[in-house]
Every structure is written in C-alpha cells, then in structure tokens.
Chains A and B, each alone.
Chain A
Amino acid sequence: MERPLTKHIDLNRPPLNLKEYEQVGGYEAVRKVLKGMTPVEVQKLVQDSNLKGRGGAGFNTGLKWSFVPMGPEALHPKYIIANADEMEPGTFKDRLLLEGNPHQLIEGMILSAYAIQADISYIFLRWAYKKAAILIRKSIAEAYEAGYLGQNILGSKWGLEMHLHTGVGRYMCGEETALLNALEGKRATPRAKPPFPQVSGLFGKPTIVNNVETFCCVPHIINNGADWFKGLSKSEDGGTKLYGVSGRVKKPGCWELPMGVTMRELIEVHAGGMQDGYEFKGALPGGASTDFLTTEHWDVKMDFKSVAAAGSRLGTGTMVVLDDATCPVGFVHNLQHFFAQESCGWCTPCREGLPWVEKILLNMEKGHGRMEDLELLDMHTKMLGPGNTFCALAPGAMEPLQSALKYFRDDFVRHIVEGKCPWHTATETPKRFAESLMV
C-alpha cells in the first residue's frame, strides 16, 4: 500500500530538512515542471488525476485552477494560498502534514502556483499550530535559499514569493473568501460568489485557495502521473486520503489510506475498535459539520460520492465517534455551541438561528425541554439549509443536528419526557472572551 503523502513523515524525529527532502526525490517535480511543462499542462494533469479538494467540499482541483485568467491580459499579482486553518472540530489531519513534512506542502504550492502563474503565496496557518509555524518558517527560508522560491526560480524567469500568516482565531477564517478578508486585515466575513476568488480574490486579484492536503498531493501527481494517482484509490475519487478517528476508540489517530476505505476498517482496524465498555453509537465522518453515520453505514466507503449517497459528507475525512456513554443531545449541543460562537454575524439566519438552537438544546439538557422544541429544531435544520445562509457555516452546523434528530430522536424525546438528561447534568459553556462592549 502506497502512502505518498506520509511516507517520509516520522513524528518521532524532526521533519526532513531541504537536503533530506531532496534526497528522497523532493523538488524533482518542480524541476520537471519548470523545464518541460506549460502552466496549462500542469492544470490539465491535475484535473485528469481527479484530485478533489481535501478541504471539505471536494471540488476537482485542476478544474478550479482552470478558472484563473491566464495570459498577458490577466491581472497580477496572482495569489495562491494554502488553507491551513484547520479549525473544524474533530479535524487534525493537516497538522500531520504541516508538522511532518513542510517541504512537501511548499513544493505542492510552488507547482500549483506555477500552474496558475501566481506571483505571491501565503500559508494561512491557524494560530494554535505553534510547532508547525516554526517548521514552516524554517522550511520557507531553506526553499528561498535553494532558489525554489524568490525570483527567477531555477532559471525559469518565473518567480514566487511565499509568506506564512498565522491567524488569531475564528473558525470562519477557514472559509476561503473569509480567509481572504482576514489576509487583507479585515473582519473574516465571507464574500459573495460570483465573482469567484479565481477572478477576484486577495486584494481583488486572481487567487486560488486550496487545502494543505490538496497541495501535498500535487508533487506526487506530477512525478507519477494522473493514472498512478487514480490507481491509489479504491474508488472513483483519485489518490489516498488522510483519515482520522477521535473519540472513545482504542487508538485514536490519523492515517493515510487509499481513498474509499470503509468506516468499518477505519474504526475496527486502524482505530483499534471501541474502548472497552463503550459501544459505537454513531460518527461524524468528516468533522463537526457532517451528518451522523451509524452502524447501518458500517460498510460505506469513505469517499466523496459514497458518503454523500449515505446521506452525509466525507468533509475532512476525520471522524468523531459518538459512544453510548455520551449523551447525543449534549454532543450536538456542544457542536451547536461551537457553531453559534463561530458564526461571523453577517447573515441573519446563522447569527440568530444558531444561538436559538443552542439554547433549546441546553435547555433540553437541563431537563426543561418541551415537545415543541423538536419542531423548532426541525424548522432550523430546514431553514438554515444550503443557499439560505450567506456561507456554508450554518448549513454545516445543521448537518449533525438534522441527522441526530433522525437517528437519535428517541434520545431527544427521553430528555423531554424524563425532564432530565439521562446521561449526565449539563454544564453551560460560557461566552467567549474579548468582547468588551457587551454588558
């Protein structure tokens, strides 16, 4: 089984430095591309490999690049940005790539930048990844020194600058247009599409935002070809995927596996099964904003299409397991608390709807729920659906809620009927800090 992305990652030692990385074939792809491929050829190759964005939405990466205006008329500077914000609760896969092999990301970004003829690149890193920040900074410096970054890279006349930007919180920064606003020094509220960032992105210039894992696939595609990449997968979607499992399993962790392993294999084999004394009740397959899957989905392939067919989304591919000792209502409340706090406050449904949902769930946890509350929750899952809100945050928030209401409705009803949480007593999570204007 090939693990191109993580082959050279060993968390027990520091990541490969530039020399070591080159020794294992690093930056070969950059040489190859700069010597003998046109930007559009690179776009085409990546498109053919069927690499789908690993940030959650699963859009064909090469196709996304092809919307960037090319040629002498195109506006410059063009930007390319690695989305390393990774703030989706339950998600920790990009961290592995960032801490494990930063040069792989940098190489992927250089290649992608070349494909759209970008001039400036950013790694938008979440603040919490302190170790990654140090490693990336060091690696960027090495890459500059070796001439992989800067002007006239390898004598190609094409150049690329790269900067590391570390965030100051807010889940919204991961949403690609909000990320652009954050990089511009503004509030991270999302932008309307169209225009898409490919046309009018950072500072109004053509911009591509891709997930870290997406970029990390690119060097391997260049080196080994589209067919090889497709062949790595057990399903239609190309490549391997970083999968993760957290919750009450024996060996929580993150592994690179062929795209399309089953949930069963993930939990039973890789995560070592449930901890003793705990039963599997359900799981969010790809982070906090995906629908629950339950035991009936045990054999669903974890690829974009199959998970969608099962009524959820592959999302980030990092699974959060709900066990029988954890209250599903409390579980969902915790998620809604997160989403309500992280709503940017731009559009009405999300800003006002999510806190209401959170209050209902907390109230239910405290034993004061009423049957009408279920209707209100159902209403929100419909009214906060895709298209109704400005961005995908609120619809994402509704995914675990709507599926919990579907699969665990009895547990909601028990809260109401028994007038208490059958599992535990609720703890209220207080408001976040730092907002001095409120009384």
Chain B
Amino acid sequence: MLTETEIQAIDHEVKLVPYKKAAVIEALKIVQKERGWISDESVEVIAAYLEMSPAEVDSVATFYNLIFRKPVGRHVILLCDSISCYVMGYQKLYEGIQQHLNIKFGQTTPDKLFTLLPNPCLGCCDHAPALMIDEDLYRDVKEEELEEILKKYRTKI
C-alpha cells in the first residue's frame, strides 16, 4: 500500500507528464525516500498505481544504480571510486571504512546502520577523494577524518 504522502507526491509528478507511466522513476524515488529501498512489494504497489505491470516497473528500477532493490542501512555511504579519486587515493578511504565498520562494498553493517557502496564520480574531482553519506558531501577526505565523520551518523536517526 502506498501511503497518503507517497500518493500525494506521486500524483503531483503524474500531473506533469503526458502518460502516467512516465512518472515511474519519480514514483520510485518518492517511495525509496520514504522506505529506504524498493522492495518487491513496493514495485507492485507502484505498478498498480501507475497502471503498469510489476515487470515494467522493475525493468526501470533495476536499470538505475541508485534505486536500491535490496535493503540498505539507515545511512548509505557512497564512496567515489572514479578516476580523480583513484589518483588521489580513494582506496585508502575504502580500507579505512572497512576498518571502522568492517563492511565491504555492497555490504551493510549488522546493526543496519551503514551500507557502503562504490559510486562513479561525485562531480567534485578538484576535491578528491570524496564521499557522500546520505545527502551530505565530504570533500578532500583524509583517512584520519573518517572516524569523526562516521560518528555523526552513529547517533543521527
């Protein structure tokens, strides 16, 4: 079932496009924002709401890497692994995060607090290496700063 908030937000998007199903990416974003990820059930309810089949919705959902079709932790760490960050040593940060959280790319901490994902280019190559946690961008990140950065999210809901 879609919530009232979700329905309102989706209805708004539907109004902007000539075909209902053209709003599917927006709908996925809306539901993911509310629920953290897109479950099979979410795919089905979105499909029903936009008069699409679940397969059609999932075909789109699985194409885009920032639609999460598996559960993620409360905070998603996106570590840039693209070229400038590679040159500037993102691997060090990766190792650092592994030490702090004991998770590899694609994994979630057992307490479901963090999920770590690699991410292509965050668009701040002049401040590499960079990472994003939820909506927050961190630039020129040094390994030593990781602990401080992560701490903020341990307490943040």
Contact = CB atoms under 8 A, between A and B. Distances in A.
Interface string B121-145: 1111111100010010100000000
Contacts of B1: none
Interface string A249-275: 000111000000000000000000000
B104 A430 contact: yes
Interface string B92-113: 0010000000001110000000
A287 B34 CA distance: 35
A435 B106 contact: no
Interface string B46-64: 0000000000000110111
A12 interface: no
Interface of B: 16-19, 21-26, 28-29, 59-60, 62-70, 78, 81-84, 86-88, 91, 94, 104-106, 117-128, 132, 135, 137
B82 to A, nearest CB: 4
Given A169-B66, A170-B64, A431 B106 contact: yes
23 contacts: A89-B83, A90-B82, A90-B84, A91-B125, A94-B123, A129-B123, A165-B26, A183-B22, A185-B25, A185-B60, A203-B18, A245-B126, A246-B126, A247-B87, A252-B127, A252-B128, A320-B87, A337-B81, A432-B117, A433-B105, A433-B117, A434-B62, A434-B64
A168 B64 contact: yes
- The residue in B21, B62, B68, B121 that gathers the most chain A C-beta atoms within 10 A of its C-beta is B121
Given A184-B22, A252-B127, A90 B65 contact: no
Interface stretch (A321-329, A388-396, A403-411): A321-329
A186 interface: yes
Nearest to B27: A185
A365 interface: no
B84 A170 contact: no
Given A244-B125, A334-B81, A89 B120 contact: yes
A410 B66 CA distance: 39
A89 B125 contact: yes
Nearest to B136: A130
A248 B125 CA distance: 11
A433 B65 contact: yes
Given A184-B22, A433-B65, A334 B127 contact: no
Q: Which of A95, A131, A429, A434 has the most CB of B within 10 A?
A: A434
Nearest to A203: B18
A331 B83 contact: yes
Interface residues of A, number: 66
Given A245-B126, A433-B106, A128 B87 contact: no
A1 interface: no
A369 to B, nearest CB: 19
Interface in A309-333: 318, 320-323, 326, 330-331
Contacts of B16: 163
A221 interface: no
Nearest to B38: A434
Contact of B125 (A170, A318, A326): A318
A335 interface: yes
A131 B136 CA distance: 9
A341 interface: yes
B83 A288 contact: yes
A161 to B, nearest CB: 8
B106 A128 contact: no
Given A163-B16, A185-B22, A430-B105, 19 more contacts: A89-B82, A91-B123, A126-B123, A128-B132, A128-B137, A130-B135, A165-B26, A168-B29, A171-B120, A182-B25, A183-B22, A203-B18, A203-B22, A244-B126, A248-B87, A326-B86, A338-B82, A432-B65, A433-B105
A34 interface: no
A436 interface: yes
Contacts of B17: 185, 203
Contact of A187 (B29, B63, B84): B63
